[in-house]
Amino acid sequence: MPDIRVKICGLSAEADIQAVSDAGAAYAGFVFFPKSPRNVTVTQARALALLTPPGLAKVALVVNADDALLDEITDQVPLDMLQLHGRETPERVQEIRARYGLPVMKAVGVASEEDLPALDSYGRVADQLLVDAKPPKGADLPGGNGLAFDWRLIAGRRWPVPWMLAGGLTPENVALAVQMTGARQVDVSSGVESAPGVKDAAKISAFAEAVRGI
Ligand SMILES: O=C(O)c1ccccc1NCC(=O)[C@H](O)[C@H](O)COP(=O)(O)O
């Protein structure tokens, strides 16, 4: 069975890069969303990205970003992927792929069967899908809320592009989540924090260990 790839999202400190690298994660995520406790400036993200060792893919997470912001991020920060976590349409996904020449991962929030067709639509235009929990109505953040969705909704479902499971994953539940969904990639943020926006190296290590044990 191939290794399951881990993405740790919302890194904001030098120590986070070390912890994520030590844990053997495949992806490191930087959040560009001012309302988030994990928000980083372009300057901070550039410094962190420059510290990131080869083999750890650097992902910029944006929410309904316009070209000016994406131009600034992609000019300044060495990146391997863009993650679109807002209401970007399939057409906008295609536009961003073409303009920046980077792989694009589109996040899709899932709460019920009704949310599943969007995964098929975005699976036709994005390079990867992030299958995440839908944020509760009125939530401040479109992701990173530490909420899981009903994993039975996607059990046995497949899309034409690689996908990651996200939403409320923790060192304690990730094995069950993978077993129920068949995910080969997992993404976590609040489940490896000691406080909102503060990554915890021991939890990152425990998460990676739990994934290796699957
Ligand atoms: O993490 C944030 O603060 C955030 C802000 C705005 C949009 C998306 C955000 N996070 C998205 C992620 O990639 C998370 O890793 C994913 O939603 C899972 O989060 P969690 O349930 O906290 O593990």
Residues having CB within 6 Å of any atom of ligand 1: 9-10, 29, 31, 33, 36, 38, 61, 63, 85, 132, 141-147, 166-169, 187-191
Number of domains in the chain: 1
pLDDT of 74 > 90? The answer is yes
CA of 75 to the centre of ligand 1 (A): 24
Instruction: Could you list the beta-strand ranges (E) of the chain.
Output: 5-8, 27-32, 57-62, 81-84, 104-110, 128-133, 163-165, 185-188, 193-195, 198-199
Which atom from ligand 1 is nearest to the alpha carbon of 168? 21
Per-residue pLDDT reduced to its tens digit, 140-183: 999 999 999 999 999 989 999 999 999 999 999 999 999 999 99
Determine the average pLDDT of the residues in 46-59.
97
Least confident of 10-19, 34-43, 134-143: 134-143
pLDDT of 197 > 70? The answer is yes
Q: Is the separation of the CB atoms in 11 and 29 below 8 Å?
A: yes
Domain that holds residue 189: 5-212
By the 10 Å C-beta count (0-12 exposed, 13-18 middle, 19+ buried), 69 is classed as: middle
Q: Which residues have a catalytic role annotated?
A: 9, 132
Candidate from 6, 131, 185, 189 with most ligand 1 atoms within 8 A of CB, to mutate: 189
Candidate from 64, 85, 129, 163 with most ligand 1 atoms within 8 A of CB, to mutate: 85
State the chain's mean pLDDT as an integer.
Answer: 96
Q: What is the pTM of this model?
A: 0.96
Which atom from ligand 1 is nearest to the alpha carbon of 83? 13
Determine the average pLDDT of the residues in 28-46.
98
Tokens of 212: 């290796």
Residue 2: what pLDDT? Answer: 54
Share of the chain above pLDDT 90, in %: 98
**Cβ partners under 8 Å of residue 114, min gap 6:** none
CA of 71 to the centre of ligand 1 (A): 22
Query: CA-CA distance, 125 to 53, in Å (whole number)?
Result: 29
Determine the average pLDDT of the residues in 64-85.
98
Candidate from 8, 11, 31, 87 with most ligand 1 atoms within 8 A of CB, to mutate: 31
Per-residue pLDDT reduced to its tens digit, 94-108: 999 999 999 999 999
Which atom from ligand 1 is nearest to the alpha carbon of 166? 18
CA of 9 to the centre of ligand 1 (A): 7
What CATH number does the domain containing 78 carry? 3.20.20.70
Which band of pLDDT confidence, cut at 50, 70 and 90, is reported for residue 1?
A: very low
Which band of pLDDT confidence, cut at 50, 70 and 90, is reported for residue 40?
A: very high
